[in-house]
Structure 1
Amino acid sequence: MLSATLAAPQSRFSRPTATAGWRVWLGPLRLPFLLLTPGCVLLAAAVVHWQQGALDLRRLTLALLGALAAHAAVNALNEWFDFRSGLDARTRRTPFSGGSGSLQAHPELAGYTLALALGALALTAVIGLWLLAHHGAALLPLGLLGLLLVASYTPVLVRRPWLGLLAPGLGFGPLMVVGTAVALTGHHSTAVWAAALPLLFLVSALLLLNQFPDVEADRSVGRRNLPVLYGRPAAARVYVGLLVAAYSALLLGVLLGALPKPALLGLATLPIAAYAAAVVQRWPNRIPRLLPAMVANVMLSLLTPLLMAIGLYCT
């Protein structure tokens, strides 16, 4: 695997093998991980529907496509960078960490993966420019920050512990949720920012826990995330703090009147969060023991925005 990694620059733009199946071709996109994006977009749409009583389906479709393209781009760039650095050849892969394994099995797809990432990023930019041209300049700062985050996440942000911790939550919370709402309405609102804050903390917690199996591999290539710098037990405490912050933000948003009471349906995932927090605190260094908590962690990020959206739609 290491020799394939070192040889990758020479075959940088090699074409995919003719016998590669669709799972191999789409593997670098990490399709199961893309499920998070529709939930974030749906939450933004629910806020707009609650506020205005109607949705522009064309704008919503474009916003969803742009968000999916951005998520696909960051996944494919992460696959390419981790393949080139040799990181994925050193990891203990789990369903939630260590990459898709596509480039380890098919190193000839490295150039294709980079092209796929850049194409998805370009599609995101084109959709953003169209929305910007038709629906006002309020989207511009969010769009520029989103493109910067996608391009810099793996090569830059993962080497800066606190920025790397918050960047995923920022991308899927304020940038994706608020960005979708601005694309639909042309302006910001207190409600959509209140809805986005729980996602900021939940998605940051999701990525933090997914770093636990890769501590040794991450350290070997110079990554400086919280589990690497401070150890898994300390990172487990940060993880629990992020969960507390997520549910506190949701509760506070309703108490302050920014969101209606039905949005509290998102609190229905609290038992799952309590289970994940208990497991992570008890066995931070026992990766096999952490796998059920990692499943629960994914469920939190998928179900909480969905339940919040259902509550808002039913208001």
Structure 2
Amino acid sequence: MLKVFMGVARINFLTLTLVCVALAAALSWYEQQQLSFISVVLVATLALAAHVSVNAFNEYFDFKSGLDFLTEKTPFSGGSGTLVHKPEKAGYTLAIALLSLLIVIAIGLSLVVQQGWQLLLIGVPGVIIIYTYTQYLNRSPLFCLLAPGVGFGLLMTLGSSWVFTGFLTPAAWVLAGIVTLLVSNLLLLNQFPDVEADKKVGRRHYPIVIGRAASARIFVAFVTLSYLLLVLAYLLNWLPLQALLGLFSLLLAVPLMKKVVKEADDITELIPALGMNIALCHLYPLAIMAGLFWTV
């Protein structure tokens, strides 16, 4: 049972959630030189439950639609394949998704009681995205592109900053924007190997609609914009000089962008780029976080 849970929850990908919460915590420490341990635990638990829920819903609905039987798995995309091998665990997977969502709602409402109804502006869209992403949002190219980034950036990272400090600064918006761009790109690139399979079940994302080569240009634009946001935040004195440690991740981002553009239509050659992209989504925010702690 534990093995099934680890598969459908995609435990090995949950580190991204911890990076988002840690980045918000680092910003709070930089801005206020204080941080509530209880708030960090609550927010991290909520964020992990949200990530587990969306993953489990994805596993369940992709199994039910038959997509799991069509997708060629890679180490970084195509789902876990858990229900292909254990179809009798579909109900268990749905229960994981629903229970995790209930945990999100319960902790979210407790935070609303503590800090005000305004947090619902982040919580309600978050719950909607968790449930609708696989079934509905994947049928709209724009929503499919932006929903993952919005979930991790403008909702998870920004929401964490809001809970930790009680307010939102321009720096919080910038860091949430960077995460939004990175995570949108994460899911965008992961769709490249799944184009043929996704077509058969009615999905419509940009690699299907405009092709992989054109989608690679979106990928490059998002990476570039994320670094421009970081530099702009420094120039406007929203972030300290040390936050520019994030620019060191260009050592990974530049070859990644080149590889995505060059190998967009060669999935075998592109697969290492999927791993590089996951590394960038971790390294870039962690480098900014290190700069924020260095400043303090």
TM over 0.5: yes
Among candidates 222, 238, 242, match of residue 262 of structure 1: 242
Note the 1:166-185 alignment, pairs <5 A: 166-185=146-165
Q: Deviations over 1:109-162 (max 9, x none)?
A: 000100100000000010001111112233120011111111111111111001
Question: Is 1:299 aligned to 2:259, yes or no?
Answer: no
What residue is the counterpart of 1:93 in the other structure? Answer: 73
Q: Which residue of 1 aligns with 2:113?
A: 133
**Amino acid paired to 1:219:** K
Match of 2:176?
196
Residue 114 of structure 1: aligned partner = 94
Asked if the contact 1:138–1:188 (Cα under 8 Å) also holds between the matched residues in 2, the reply is no
Q: CA deviation at 1:260?
A: 1.1
Q: Give the letter for the 1:292 counterpart.
A: P
Q: Write the distance in 2 (CA, Å) between the matches of 1:228 and 1:43.
A: 33
* Correspondence for 1:36: 16
Please report the RMSD computed on the Cα atoms of aligned residues, expressed in angstroms: 0.9
> Counterpart of 1:314 in 2: which secondary structure?
helix
The one of 178, 181, 185 equivalent to 1:205 is 185
TM-score, with normalisation over the residues of structure 2?
A: 0.98
Alignment counterpart, residue 258 of structure 2, candidates 278, 301, 304: 278
Q: Alpha-carbon deviation of 1:106?
A: 0.1
The aligned runs of 1:199-278 (5 Å cut-off) are 199-278=179-258
What's the CA shift string for 1:231-267, capped at 9, x where partnerless?
Answer: 1111111111111111111111111111111111111
Instruction: Return the TM-score normalized by structure 1.
Output: 0.92
Q: Which residue of 1 aligns with 2:288?
A: 308
Q: Deviations over 1:152-188 (max 9, x none)?
A: 1111111100111011111111111110111122222
The reply to whether residue 152 of structure 1 matches residue 132 of structure 2 is yes
Does the alignment pair 1:186 with 2:170?
no
Runs of at least 5 residues in structure 1 that lack an aligned partner in the other structure: 1-19
Indicate yes or no: 2:41 matched with 1:82.
Answer: no
CA contact (8 A) 1:275 1:293 kept: no
Q: Structure 2: give runs of 5+ residues left out of the alignment.
A: none
The one-letter code matched in structure 1 to 2:53 is A
Please say if residues 83 and 103 of structure 1, whose CA atoms lie closer than 8 Å, have aligned partners that are also in contact: yes
- Distance in 2 between the 1:144 and 1:291 partners? 35
- Identity rate of aligned residues, in percent? 47
Indicate if the aligned counterparts of 1:263 and 1:312 stay in contact, CA closer than 8 A.
yes
Could you tell me how far apart the structure 1 residues matched to 2:119 and 2:59 are? 29
Corresponding residue number in structure 2 for 1:16: none
**Structure 1 residue 296, shift from structure 2 partner:** 0.8
